[in-house]
């Protein structure tokens, strides 16, 4: 079964540092997403990406966040200057087509710890 792959599985970074979380979506999917889960809380939508641009973002996704699809396979989330409150599990997801949530698939997550 096709998978969404996320690397690294765990990253520790110092406050104020930039961090890049990486994802390889399923190859024939067109829509890409990032979600965040702060410890003990629910999973929250951050951003969706289609046709090489952001299609929707939540109020959480402020100027310190950016997303990119630098090549044909990777999808990245960059946090410019990390804060303690950015510590969370970050999930990447992809889906094949709009209004087709059948293939919506999450990666296994990257646990980001900001110290």
Partner 1 sequence: AQSVTQPDIHITVSEGASLELRCNYSYGATPYLFWYVQSPGQGLQLLLKYFSGDTLVQGIKGFEAEFKRSQSSFNLRKPSVHWSDAAEYFCAVVYTMEYGNKLVFGAGTILRVKS
Residues whose CB falls within 8 Å of the CB of residue 17, separated by 6 or more in sequence, listed in order? 81, 82
Residues 15/92, Cβ–Cβ less than 8 Å: no
Q: Which of 21, 25, 26, 31 binds partner 1 (CB under 8 A)?
A: 31
Considering the complex, state which of residue 45 and residue 76 has its C-beta at the smaller distance from partner 1: 45
Dmax (CA) for the chain in angstroms is 40
- Assess 69 for contact with partner 1 (CB under 8 A): no
Residue 64, SS3 per DSSP = coil
Residue 78's DSSP bridge partners are 20, 66
Separation between Cα atoms, residue 62 and residue 80, nearest integer Å: 11
Q: For the CB of residue 31, give the shortest distance to partner 1 in the complex, in Å.
A: 4
Stretch that binds partner 1, among 16-24, 60-68, 72-80, 96-104 (CB under 8 A): 96-104
58: which DSSP letter?
A: -
- Assess 59 for contact with partner 1 (CB under 8 A): no
Q: For the CB of residue 4, give the shortest distance to partner 1 in the complex, in Å.
A: 10
In the complex, which residues of this chain contact partner 1 (CB under 8 A)? 31, 33, 35, 41-45, 48, 50-51, 55-56, 89, 91, 93, 95, 98-102, 104, 106-109, 111
């Amino acid at each position: 079964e096709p998978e969404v792959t996320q690397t690294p599985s765990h990253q520790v970074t110092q406050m104020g540092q930039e961090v890049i979380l990486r994802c390889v979506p399923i190859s024939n999917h067109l829509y890409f997403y990032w979600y965040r889960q702060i410890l003990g809380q629910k999973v929250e939508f951050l951003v969706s990406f289609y046709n090489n641009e952001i299609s929707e973002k939540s109020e959480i996704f402020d100027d310190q966040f950016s997303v990119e699809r630098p090549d044909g396979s990777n999808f990245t989330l960059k946090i410019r200057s990390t804060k303690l409150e950015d510590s969370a599990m970050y999930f990447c997801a992809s889906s094949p087509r709009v209004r087709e949530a059948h293939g919506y698939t999450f990666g296994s997550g990257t646990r980001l710890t900001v110290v």
